[in-house]
Amino acid sequence: MPITAPSRGLILVIEDEPAIAEVIRLNLAAAGFGVRLERDGEAGLAAVSRFVPAAVILDVGLPGIDGIEVCRRLRAAQDWTPVLFVTARDDEVDRIVGLELGADDYVTKPFSPRELVARVAGVLRRSQGVADAPAPLRVGSIRLDPAGRRVHAGDREVSLTATEFDLLAYLMRRPGRVFGREQLLSAVWGYSAVAGARTVDVHIAQVRAKLQDASPIRTVRGVGYAVEPDRSPGSVGPSAGPR
């Protein structure tokens, strides 16, 4: 499939329904993105390696290798290109399985093309960070470098998706403060909806699993999540940061 001229980065769209793929392409191109279209999982995987896109829009229900398996193979190969799932199945299991594999967000068909473009822009902001990134953060044995987008648990480097990284960073910048799911959706994902609250739970679970016993995130039942303040001597946590 041809590529539209990129200005904001190349987006790979792996979608087997031509009409939907064309609507996505037109809206992304109008927003200044370059677009590459593929219609099946095998071709999509090859295109990720060949074109190194800024992000991937990935249909769950692809023929042959489905979208979940495509994402699984990318993450197994340590390819952390941001992935946004598109699914026609209004089944939370599909969404949760996809997010546990390391997807950054999802939309359900039928969707608003403008919303999809906004979600892509949000994923890219999270993956690219900002030029004036704040100082490194530390809570317990967890060290987070906003500029380098790297996280260490003790001597072990931890691979996080763009969304997982920003979720952890947001909590670590405000140690001790409890945030509800709606607040985290708004602050990290850039939107707020009760239907998306489960997304926060899944990402929190994934961050905890990757940080293992070093995770500083606690659950406040019936409210949300918080990072415990680091009270160890000589800690470099952002205790004086915004609350």
- Cα separation, 90 vs 60, in Å, equals 11
Per-residue pLDDT, 3: 56
Q: What is the pLDDT of residue 91?
A: 67
CATH class belonging to 137-227: mainly alpha
- What residues in the chain have per-residue pLDDT under 50? 5-6, 130-132, 233-243
- Confidence at residue 239, expressed as pLDDT on a 0 to 100 scale: 37
The pLDDT score that the predictor gives to residue 98 is: 74
pTM of structure: 0.70
Q: What CA dihedral angle connects 232, 236, 241 and 243, to 10 degrees?
A: -30
Reported as half-sphere exposure (CB side, CA atoms, 13 A), residue 235 has a value of 19
Distance (Å, whole) CA 139 – CA 160: 17
Structure tokens at 101: 């594999």
- Report the DSSP beta bridge partners of residue 139: 142
Where exactly are the structural domains of the chain?
A: 10-128, 137-227
10-128 CATH: 3.40.50.2300
Residue 43 main-chain phi, psi, to 5 deg: -65, -35
